[in-house]
Amino acid sequence: MLLTITTTHRPATDLGYLLYKNPARVHTRSLAFGRAHVFYAEATEERCTAALLLDVDPVGLVRRGPGERSLHDYVNDRPYVASSFLSVAIADAFGTALAGTSRERPELVDKPIPLSAHLPALPSRGGEGLIRRLFEPLGYVVFATRHPLDPAFPAWGDSRYHSVTLEATRPLRELLANLYVLIPVLDDEKHYWVGEAEIEKLLRRGDGWLAVHPERELIVQRYLVRQRPLTREALARLADDDPDPELTETVHDAEEAAVEERLNLNEQRLGAVLSVLRASGAKRVLDLGCGEGRLVRALLDDPSFERIVGLDVSHRALSVAAERLHLDRMPERRRARVELIHGSLTYRDERLSGFEAAAVVEVVEHLETERLPAFERVLFEHAAPGVVVLTTPNAEYNVRFETLPAGRHRHADHRFEWTRGEFRAWAAGVAERHGYHVRFLPVGQEDPELGPPTQMAVFER
């Protein structure tokens, strides 16, 4: 069983410092179930490939294990495929890197570097589709080829083993954590007893990505080998966790409302967004960053919208929305048209495909500027609805809000507020990169010098 990790970061040999393994030597470690070797297939300035070769000793395992033995215990796929044995070996051989420490290159620990991981035999219960569903939302480019059961007998069909390469620019420790968790999930098996302690491991390794992963339920269930109480506990703890410090739970609250109250801007905004969505003729609509569900409710009240999905990163906002909409006692026909889902706009999400229109109302300014390119791709490249209606504050107008001190944002959680020029430049770039046409509309009472309080862009493909 083999895992190789390649980087083209310069100098690529820094990989040795990050992994804590000198490229000049072969490193061998004894594990309970065999031996793990780390060596380098290449180590130059331009490219460096570290290999983790795991030698599982099935006979030793059987001898040590209790109970009756069958032929299957001696002859099986375990020595040859990526499984929970590999996760244990990763944690053992690359523990320092996984924990995010490096004595020699501390500045590289959190730095995204170009990485490629290759697994020649990755079993997947759920096929190539599941491999993609697990890794693509995390931003990996996935190359997968399925191995036939026997190349000499094509009629036998395919096996559940895949040769897989994952490519991404990200910190090495994130790649290791993703592999550590997701390999046994794909294999859908564990070689050891799974108890409470496994929850801690999962939450630690899943820190920062698992809570917002669209397949988190499947991941948690399989990782905890479908033990219901463990799964329930882990999912509950994930839900309480803030998935990402950037994404603090921000229900669009009193603070911002107070500042904007005079204008009743909320309603004007809602009306403006609704009228663009109606005019678009869309039947299936996304409300991204739906907050407490004001727009979702307005959309539900208009029968021309047949399917409405509200997404938000905040569990709190979603539960307020569910309550305000009375989801639990909604008539069946109405209930069937609406869904509230948890997710982050900075991760690619299959659930966002197939919609004719999307609204993103007062959300972009809550994203870190470094995450805007990810958001842009998630929405305009992958989800790619025909129409996108996006609103954001007009920073120039802020001087008109009497209660707002100069230089302050309208809401503490806003990461930025754009002038008209900044917003237009960003939106024009997005449109240009993804084949959309964009126009701008004012929302609220327009000031002759400063423009409208809210700015709105309508993108059409």
Between CA 180 and CA 91 the distance in angstroms is 8
- Identify which range of 125-133, 176-184, 217-225, 284-292 contacts ligand SAH by CB under 6 A: 284-292
- Identify which range of 101-109, 127-135, 233-241, 358-366 contacts ligand SAH by CB under 6 A: 358-366
Q: Which of 198, 215, 312, 349 binds ligand SAH (CB under 6 A)?
A: 312
State yes or no: residue 376 binds ligand SAH (CB under 6 A).
no
* Amino acid at position 442, single letter: P
Between CA 272 and CA 212 the distance in angstroms is 30
- Identify which range of 115-123, 165-173, 200-208, 356-364 contacts ligand SAH by CB under 6 A: 356-364
- Identify which range of 87-95, 158-166, 361-369, 427-435 contacts ligand SAH by CB under 6 A: 361-369
Which residue lies nearer to ligand SAH by CB, 162 or 252?
A: 252
Between CA 12 and CA 49 the distance in angstroms is 9
Which residue lies nearer to ligand SAH by CB, 309 or 361?
A: 361
Which residue is associated with the tokens 């001696």? 74
What is the 8-class DSSP label of residue 451?
B
Which residue lies nearer to ligand SAH by CB, 185 or 317?
A: 317
State yes or no: residue 277 binds ligand SAH (CB under 6 A).
no
State yes or no: residue 294 binds ligand SAH (CB under 6 A).
yes
- Please answer whether residues 274 and 297 qualify as being in contact, where contact means their C-beta atoms are separated by less than 8 angstroms: no
Element (H, E) at 161: strand 158-170
Between CA 451 and CA 421 the distance in angstroms is 11
Which residue lies nearer to ligand SAH by CB, 50 or 313?
A: 313
* Closest chain position to ligand SAH (CB): 291
Which residue lies nearer to ligand SAH by CB, 98 or 296?
A: 296
Instruction: Please report how close the Cβ of residue 288 comes to ligand SAH at its closest, in angstroms.
Output: 6
State yes or no: residue 348 binds ligand SAH (CB under 6 A).
no
* Amino acid at position 94, single letter: F
User: How many residues line the site for ligand SAH (CB under 6 A)?
Assistant: 20
Which residue lies nearer to ligand SAH by CB, 31 or 372?
A: 372
Between CA 223 and CA 60 the distance in angstroms is 25
- Identify which range of 51-59, 91-99, 123-131, 360-368 contacts ligand SAH by CB under 6 A: 360-368
- Please answer whether residues 187 and 123 qualify as being in contact, where contact means their C-beta atoms are separated by less than 8 angstroms: yes
Which residue is associated with the tokens 């959190």? 110
State yes or no: residue 362 binds ligand SAH (CB under 6 A).
yes
Which residue lies nearer to ligand SAH by CB, 38 or 277?
A: 277
3-state secondary structure of 112: coil
Q: Which of 216, 348, 366, 414 binds ligand SAH (CB under 6 A)?
A: 366
Which residue lies nearer to ligand SAH by CB, 219 or 367?
A: 367
Q: Which of 7, 250, 392, 394 binds ligand SAH (CB under 6 A)?
A: 250
- Identify which range of 23-31, 95-103, 355-363, 420-428 contacts ligand SAH by CB under 6 A: 355-363
Residue count of the chain, please give it: 461
State yes or no: residue 247 binds ligand SAH (CB under 6 A).
yes
Q: What is the largest CA-CA distance in the chain?
A: 85
Closest CA to 212 of 263, 137, 262: 137
State yes or no: residue 392 binds ligand SAH (CB under 6 A).
no
Q: Which of 16, 120, 289, 453 binds ligand SAH (CB under 6 A)?
A: 289
Q: Which of 345, 378, 389, 443 binds ligand SAH (CB under 6 A)?
A: 345
Instruction: Please report how close the Cβ of residue 7 comes to ligand SAH at its closest, in angstroms.
Output: 28
State yes or no: residue 299 binds ligand SAH (CB under 6 A).
no
Between CA 255 and CA 410 the distance in angstroms is 8
3-state secondary structure of 351: helix
**C-alpha torsion sign, points 364, 369, 370, 376:** positive
* CA 15-368-201 angle, 5° bins: 50
Element (H, E) at 251: none
State yes or no: residue 361 binds ligand SAH (CB under 6 A).
yes
Q: Which of 4, 346, 392, 394 binds ligand SAH (CB under 6 A)?
A: 346
What is the 8-class DSSP label of residue 371?
G
Q: Which of 122, 131, 299, 317 binds ligand SAH (CB under 6 A)?
A: 317
**What are the start-end ranges of the E strands in 11-157?**
27-31, 34-43, 48-56, 113-123, 141-148
* CA dist list (Å): 355 to 209, 273, 385, 427: 25, 16, 5, 20
Interface residue list for ligand SAH (CB under 6 A) = 247, 250-252, 289-291, 294, 312-314, 317, 344-346, 361-363, 366-367
